[in-house]
Amino acid sequence: MALSFASLNSGSNGNCYYLENEHDAILVDAGISCRETEKRMERLGLAMKKIRAIFVSHEHADHIRGIRVLAKKYSLPVYITDLTLNRSGLSLDSDLIKTFSAHQSVNIGDLVITPFPKFHDASEPHSFTIKCKGFTVGVFTDIGFPCEHVIRYFGECDAAFLEANYDEDLLENGRYPYHLKARIRGINGHLSNKQAFELFSGNGTHMSHLLLSHLSRDNNSPRIVMDLFNQIKCNTKITVASRDQESEIYHITGSDVSARRSNLETIQFSLF
């Protein structure tokens, strides 16, 4: 097994992403309760004792809600920037706090986790790629627009969680007040279906798996976003990560990626 991954929850009600190899696992964010995290992992046949660390993208409650209890109960190191920790209000044992810096990889066993900065309305937001034995999975959510860092790291992935937060028409004609609409579609907000589609169609069709993530309950739907992404002719398995339950476990192996790897050489990175 090279890399396996699952969404335990994805949405404004909580975000938590699980990634593992044969020996070690990590969580990217823990925005659902410890009890719910345990229940969902148990249903997937995953063991909490395998998790070695939690990596925190930013301080919003839907990404950190379960961290304090999880970290204390299982003595899990929490990788978080100083500014994010200060703004989060998290109370963590000092020996469990680990810092990271943008573009500086962290090794957890054979897993190599690389954080990179992005645009979002948080103090010091980061996303992550996770690499093992030449295979890479990325977590790309809570992104205002696809900046050069996002495009670069997205193009290096063999699979990814990609935010597709809102449909532009549903947001425009929906019940949200103007200031909230402006925040969501602003440079520090969230990716629309269209932005996600353009990022993937230009830089990601070599991937084996794509999990469309962080869908808005009010301003999007799985049907709308899948209708859009089904227009792309590629061999990528595209699914929607639920905001109410865990996904299945997905696996990347050499046979999944070898036929696509040559396409990486022809990918053109461009800002939208």
pLDDT higher than threshold 60 for residue 266: no
Query: Tens digit of pLDDT for each residue in 161-199?
Result: 999 999 999 999 999 999 999 999 999 999 999 999 999
At 2 the pLDDT is: 84
State the pLDDT at residue 12: 96
186 vs 90: CA distance, rounded Å:
27
pLDDT at 259 > cutoff 50: no
Q: Write down the pLDDT at residue 117.
A: 98
Extract long-range pairs of 225-234: CB within 8 Å, 24+ residues apart: 225/164, 225/167, 225/193, 225/196, 228/193, 228/194, 228/197, 229/197, 229/200, 232/197, 232/200, 232/201, 232/205, 234/205
Q: Where are the domains of the chain?
A: 3-255
Q: In the beta sheet, which residues pair with residue 114?
A: 129
Q: How confident is the model at residue 212 (pLDDT cuts 50, 70, 90)?
A: very high
Gap between the Cα atoms of 74 and 206, Å rounded:
37
* Domain at 3-255: CATH code: 3.60.15.10
Residue predicted with more confidence, 251 or 258: 251
Mean per-residue pLDDT, 219-225: 98
In this prediction, residues 238-256 reach a mean pLDDT of 90
**DSSP E strands, 34-147:** 51-55, 78-79, 97-98, 106-108, 111-117, 126-132, 135-140
pLDDT digits (tens, 9 = 90+) for 64-74: 999 999 999 99
* Mean pLDDT confidence for 32-40: 98
Cβ burial, residue 201 (10 Å; 0-12/13-18/19+): middle
Bridge partners (DSSP) listed for residue 213: 163
As a whole number of Å, the CA-based R_g of the chain is 17
Q: For all residues of the chain together, what is the average pLDDT? A: 94
Residue ranges in 93-175 assigned as alpha helix (H)? 148-155, 168-173
pLDDT tens column, 14-28: 999 999 999 999 999
What does pTM read for this prediction?
0.93
Structure-block tokens of residue 104:
């500086």
Q: What is the pLDDT of residue 255?
A: 54
Give the span between the Cα atoms of 176 and 185, in whole angstroms.
Answer: 12
